[in-house]
Amino acid sequence: MKEFPAVEGAEGISTPRIAVILPCYNEAGAIVQTVRDFRRAFPAADIYVFDNNSSDGSADLAAAAGAIVRRVSQQGKGHVVRRMFADVDADIYVMADGDATYEAAAAPRMVAAMLEDNLDMVVGTRKSEADEAYRRGHRFGNWALTSLLKQLFGRTFTDILSGYRVFSRRFVKSFPVLSAGFEIETEISVHALELSMPVSEMLTAYGARPEGSVSKLSTYRDGWRILRTIITLYRIERPILFFGSFAVLLAATGLILATPLILTYMETGLVPRFPTAILVTGLMILATLSGTCGLILDTVVRGRREVRRLAYLGFRAPSDFARRD
């Protein structure tokens, strides 16, 4: 078993309080195995199962396996993560799905990496040799969305949709969860990138679901929601680029349409196509408004980012967990 470093502070020697947090929805065929696997990985940790209106007895099975069960009535993984982050108190949080697909034995290595390098998040990048571990289209969708995130934000993770992550306390308690569904992993990734948090990735095994466990992810519906979330976050976090792109496009269109009008006016002193002139004027006004919106919103975003950064810095780093008041 991996030994975590003890830290000596004002209250003596201490080890981090680790909480394993598992969202669960109709995982009767896998939740017991998941709880047992993480209990072997962390014998002294608190293991929480947040049940999201399961109708197959998952909550009772998790409780019988030794987990602390909480119920979340609002349907959706984002709502579950919001409750987990708000209700659970620990120094380090290990989040995985309740479907027994993630390698629980890798979690101690992820925690050790966090403590060693004073990180705020370690992402368990999935690697699977079994084709049945992924549903049709999921590999391509993950690659496409990860690539898009890199193009828009300049940086990304290898696997932005991985639900296997280790968080520091200051990440969890300063993260304003806004998503409702499976787009929560994208929101988490963008939050870490925009605040330039120290993060890392670790390759972990990813297996097929046990018999009786079915994926709740809809390839097309949830894929569209994740894509929409990426674009929305880009608009919110990078408004000057988002609205500036529209401003450049509108201005370029206006200039292309205006060029023959200007040349004709210089030659004859007349404006023969008056409707086109009105259209050009409208396009340039819209371009100016779009650019101005981008500049104003960029100032607002900077202020919001500073507030989030200060909230984040209000919590101690992972290596300081022993120095509690």
Is-contact 56 63, C-beta < 8 A?
no
pLDDT at site 136:
52
Name the 3-class secondary structure at 158.
coil
CATH class of residue range 7-237: alpha beta
Cα 172 from Cα 94, distance rounded (Å):
11
The residues of the chain scoring below 50 in pLDDT are 1-2, 6-13, 130-134, 322-325
Residue 224 structure tokens: 């569209």
Is-contact 201 122, C-beta < 8 A?
yes
Q: State phi, psi for 109 to the nearest 5 degrees.
A: -65, -40
pLDDT at site 217:
65
The residue behind tokens 């992550």 is 165
Cα 13 from Cα 6, distance rounded (Å):
6
Q: Residue 266: CB partners within 8 Å, gap ≥ 6?
A: none
DSSP-assigned beta bridge partners for residue 50: 23, 70
Is-contact 127 106, C-beta < 8 A?
no
- 199-205, strands of its sheet edge to edge: 68-71, 46-51, 18-24, 92-95, 165-168, 121-127, 199-205
pLDDT at site 133:
46
Q: State phi, psi for 121 to the nearest 5 degrees.
A: -155, 140
Is-contact 96 164, C-beta < 8 A?
yes
pLDDT at site 14:
56
State the pairing for strand pair 18-24/46-51.
parallel
Domain limits, the chain: 7-237, 239-313
Name the 3-class secondary structure at 169.
helix
pLDDT at site 273:
80
Is-contact 149 227, C-beta < 8 A?
no
**pTM of the predicted protein model:** 0.79
The residue behind tokens 């981090």 is 16
Which stretches of 147-294 are assigned E, i.e. beta strand? 165-168, 199-205
Q: What is the DSSP secondary structure assignment for residue 54, as one 8-state letter? A: -
pLDDT at site 13:
42
Is-contact 160 188, C-beta < 8 A?
no
Cα 297 from Cα 291, distance rounded (Å):
10
| Greatest distance between any 2 Cα atoms in the chain | 89
Cα 310 from Cα 175, distance rounded (Å):
12
Name the 3-class secondary structure at 210.
coil
